[in-house]
Amino acid sequence: MRRALAGSALILSAGLAAPLHAQSTFERLEAVSETMNAMMNDGMVAEIPALDGHMPDPEWDDALRGAYRCMYDAYVAEVGTAPVEAMVAQMEQSLETLTPAQLIETGAAVENPDGLSDDRALEIVAECELMDIFMDRMSGAMEILSRQ
C-alpha cells in the first residue's frame, strides 16, 4: 500500500511521450509524469464524464515543479543518481504498454529507486508537500467525485 501511495505521488503530478529535447533525468521525469497525468485524466473522464473540464492540467506548474525538484534532489541525496535514473527509465518503459484504464485500475507500478525504502519515500513526498499540491490541484475533480 505504501509503495502504491509513493508511486501515485509520482503519477498524479503524468499527453505526449518524452520530448526529444528533454535530456536531464529531471526533465525526463517531468515529461513522463505529465504523460501519465494526461493518461490518468483521460481514464478518469472516460469512467466519470462529469469530470470533463474539472481535471487538473497535466503539465507541471511552478509549485508542482518545485515539489518534484525537492523530491528528486532528496532521492538523489539518499541513493545517488543512478538509481533515480533507473526509476525514471522504468517509468518511461511502462508507457510503452500502459493504457489509461490500466493506470486507473492498477497504477503505473512505479518502484522506488533502489536503496530507498517505502517509508523514506513517503517521508520525502510529505516533506516536499507533493501530496498537498496534488490535492489542491484535484480540488475541482474531488468536488465532482463527492457528488457522484
Please tell me the distance from the alpha carbon of residue 118 to that of residue 5, in angstroms, as a whole number: 9
> Whole-structure pTM over 0.85, yes or no?
no
The count of domains in the chain is: 1
Band of the pLDDT at 3, cuts 50, 70, 90? Answer: very low
Mean pLDDT, the chain, whole residue set: 85
CA-nearest of 51, 57, 54, 55 to 33 is 57
pLDDT of residue 6 exceeding 90, the answer is no
* pLDDT tens, residue by residue, 14-65: 333 444 454 899 999 999 999 999 999 999 999 999 999 999 999 999 999 9
- pLDDT digits 0-9 by tens, 66-80: 999 999 999 999 999
**Could you list the residue range(s) of the whole structural domain that residue 13 is in?**
2-146
